[in-house]
C-alpha cells in the first residue's frame, strides 16, 4: 500500500471519528452556530435607550421646569414621573419603575441667577453601568446646557459684547471620540472577545472528547491508524474545520452585527492558524490526561467564567496579581483574545503583538511535545 493511500485511509478514520460522533458534531456545528446567534441577540440594540427617571422639583420655578424639559429632551433620559415627595420617588426607584432620581433643591433659580453655587442631587441604580452612565450623561448635558444659557443671558443683560460671550462662558470645548468602539455599545465591547472564547471552548470539548474515545478504542485493541499519522491528522482536521468557523465568525457575523474589524486578511489568517493549532494541541493534551469523554465538557464549564475575568477584556490584565496573569497565559485563549482584539479591533500590525505570538508558539511547542510524550507512554504494548 502506498504512503498516500495509507495517509488517506488514516484521514478517513479521523473524519469518521469526528463526523460520525453525534455529540462531537453537535458541539462543533450546533454549538458554534447556536452561540453565534444566541449570545449577541439580547444586546442587538447595543446601547441603552432612553431611561426613565423621576424628578422631585422642590423649587417649582420657571428655571426648574426648563431644566426638566431639557433633561426630557436628551436622547438618554425620559422624565417618567414628577412625584410630590421623596418617599414617593424612592418607592418608584425601589420598584424599578424608574432608573434614576433627580432632586432640584429649593432656591435653585435664585442661586443660579445670583451666581451662587447650587447642587443638583441624583440617585440611580448603578448595578448596570451602561444604564447608570447613560442617565448621568443625559442629566449632565441638560444641566450644563442650562447653566451656559443662563450665563449668556446674564452677560447680555450686563451689556457685554455678544461676540466675546461664548469664549468667556466656555473657554474650552471638549470633543470626544470613542476609539475602537464607535457606538460605545455592548456588542462592540464584548462580542469580539467572547467569539474567540466560544471557538476555544468548543474546540476543547470536541478535540478532547475525540482523543479520549480514540485512546479507549486503542486500549481495547480495535484497529486504528498509527499515532504518528493519527495525531498530526487530527490536528490538521480540527484546524481546518475551525478555520472555516473563524472566517464565519470574524467575517459574516461581525458584518451582521456591525462589529468593527480592521485586520488585514493575511494577518488575521496567520494569527488564526497559530491560535487554532495551539488550542487543538491543548485539547489533545487534555484528552490524554482525562479518563472519560464527558470530562472536557465539565472542565470547560468550570473554567469559562474564570477565563472571562482573567483574559484581559472584562478586567485589565495589568490589574490582576502578576502570578495569576502569568499562570493564565498557559491557556491559549488568553493570548488569543488579546491578539485578536489588537489586530482585528484596534488595527495593530501583526509585528506589534510579538508577546502574544511568542506565548502561543511556546504553548504550541509545550503541548505538542507533552502530548507526543504522553501518547508514546500510553500506547498499547504489543504482546511478546
Tens digit of each residue's pLDDT (9 = 90 or more) over 121-142: 887 777 777 777 778 888 888 8
The winner for highest mean pLDDT among 15-29, 82-96, 105-119, 149-163 is 15-29
What single-letter DSSP state applies at residue 127? Answer: T
Sheet hosting strand 51-57, strand order edge to edge? 77-81, 51-57, 100-104, 121-124
pLDDT at 235: 95
How many helices (H) and strands (E) the chain has is answered by: 16, 4
Give the phi and the psi of residue 122 in degrees, each rounded to 5. -130, 135
Q: Are 103 and 110 in contact (CB under 8 A)?
A: no
What pLDDT, on the 0 to 100 scale, is given for residue 197? 94
Residue 21 gets which letter from DSSP?
-
What is d(CA 269, CA 247) in angstroms, rounded to the nearest whole number?
9
pLDDT of residue 209: 95
Instruction: Tell me the pLDDT tens digit for each residue of 196-247.
Output: 999 999 999 999 999 999 999 988 888 888 888 899 999 999 999 999 999 9
The sign of the CA dihedral 159, 160, 162, 165 is negative
Residue with cell 422639583: 57
Decide if 184 contacts 133 (C-beta within 8 A). Answer: no
Least confident segment among 221-230, 247-256, 260-269: 221-230
Q: How many Cβ atoms from other residues are within 10 Å of residue 83's Cβ? A: 18
CA distance 14 to 214: 9
Please state, in angstroms and rounded to a whole number, the distance separating the CA atoms of residues 132 and 125: 6
d(CA 230, CA 214): 10
Q: Chain-wide mean pLDDT for the chain?
A: 85
Our CA angle for 92, 98, 104, nearest 5°, is: 80
pLDDT band of 176, cuts 50, 70, 90: low
- The whole-angstrom separation of Cα 335 and Cα 337 is 6
| Closest to 297 in 3D by CA, of 15, 19, 29, 27 | 27
Q: What is the pLDDT of residue 154?
A: 63
Mean pLDDT of 136-156: 74
The three-class DSSP label of residue 52 is: strand
Phi and psi, residue 167, nearest 5°: -70, -30
The pLDDT of residue 134: 77
Confidence of residue 47 (pLDDT cuts 50, 70, 90): low
Asked whether residue 384 carries a pLDDT value surpassing 50, the answer given is: no
Is 168 a residue whose pLDDT tops 80? Answer: no
- DSSP 3-state assignment of 101? strand
pLDDT average, residue stretch 283-304 = 93
Give the SS3 label for residue 102: strand
* Structural domains of the chain, ranges and CATH numbers in brackets: 3-43+185-377 (no CATH), 51-169 (3.40.1710.10)
Residues 346-367 pLDDT 10s: 889 998 999 999 999 999 999 9
Ranking 19-28, 232-241, 311-320, 358-367 by mean pLDDT, the lowest is 311-320
Highest mean pLDDT among 5-14, 95-104, 145-154, 322-331: 322-331
Q: Which pLDDT band, with edges at 50, 70 and 90, does 50 fall under?
A: confident
77 vs 196, more confident = 196
What element of type H or E holds 104?
strand 100-104
Average pLDDT over residues 181-207: 88
Amino acid at each position: 500500500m502506498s504512503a498516500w493511500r495509507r495517509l488517506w485511509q488514516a484521514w478517513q478514520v479521523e473524519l469518521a471519528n469526528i463526523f460520525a460522533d453525534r455529540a462531537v458534531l453537535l458541539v462543533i456545528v450546533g454549538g458554534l452556530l447556536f452561540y453565534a446567534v444566541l449570545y449577541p441577540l439580547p444586546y442587538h440594540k447595543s446601547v441603552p435607550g432612553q431611561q426613565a427617571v423621576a424628578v422631585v422639583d422642590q423649587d417649582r420655578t420657571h428655571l426648574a421646569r426648563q431644566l426638566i424639559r431639557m433633561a426630557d429632551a436628551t436622547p438618554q433620559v425620559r422624565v417618567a414621573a414628577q412625584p410630590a415627595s421623596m418617599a414617593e420617588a424612592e418607592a418608584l426607584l425601589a420598584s424599578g419603575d424608574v432608573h434614576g432620581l433627580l432632586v432640584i433643591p429649593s432656591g435653585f433659580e435664585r442661586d443660579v441667577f445670583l451666581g451662587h453655587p447650587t447642587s443638583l442631587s441624583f440617585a440611580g441604580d448603578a448595578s448596570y453601568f451602561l444604564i447608570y452612565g447613560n442617565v448621568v450623561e443625559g442629566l449632565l448635558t441638560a444641566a450644563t446646557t442650562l447653566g451656559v444659557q443662563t450665563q449668556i443671558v446674564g452677560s447680555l443683560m450686563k451689556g457685554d459684547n455678544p461676540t466675546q460671550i461664548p469664549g468667556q462662558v466656555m473657554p474650552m470645548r471638549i470633543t470626544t471620540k470613542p476609539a475602537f468602539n464607535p457606538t460605545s455599545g455592548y456588542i462592540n465591547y464584548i462580542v469580539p472577545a467572547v467569539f474567540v472564547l466560544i471557538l476555544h471552548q468548543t474546540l476543547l470539548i470536541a478535540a478532547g472528547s475525540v482523543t479520549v474515545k480514540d485512546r479507549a478504542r486503542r486500549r481495547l485493541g480495535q484497529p486504528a491508524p498509527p499515532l504518528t499519522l493519527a495525531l498530526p491528522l487530527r490536528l490538521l482536521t480540527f484546524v481546518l474545520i475551525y478555520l472555516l468557523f473563524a472566517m464565519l465568525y470574524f467575517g459574516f457575523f461581525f458584518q451582521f452585527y456591525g462589529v468593527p474589524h480592521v485586520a488585514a486578511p493575511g494577518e488575521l489568517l496567520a494569527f488564526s492558524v497559530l491560535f487554532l493549532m495551539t488550542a487543538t494541541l491543548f485539547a489533545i493534551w487534555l484528552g490524554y490526561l482525562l479518563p472519560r469523554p464527558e470530562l472536557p465538557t465539565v472542565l470547560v464549564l468550570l473554567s469559562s467564567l474564570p477565563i472571562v475575568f482573567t483574559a484581559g477584556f472584562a478586567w485589565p490584565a495589568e490589574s490582576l496579581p502578576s502570578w495569576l496573569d502569568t499562570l493564565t497565559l498557559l491557556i491559549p485563549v488568553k493570548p488569543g483574545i488579546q491578539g485578536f482584539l489588537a489586530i482585528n479591533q484596534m488595527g495593530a500590525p501583526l509585528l506589534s503583538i510579538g508577546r502574544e505570538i511568542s506565548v502561543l508558539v511556546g504553548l504550541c511547542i509545550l503541548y505538542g511535545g507533552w502530548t507526543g510524550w504522553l501518547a508514546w507512554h500510553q500506547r498499547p504494548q504489543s504482546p511478546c
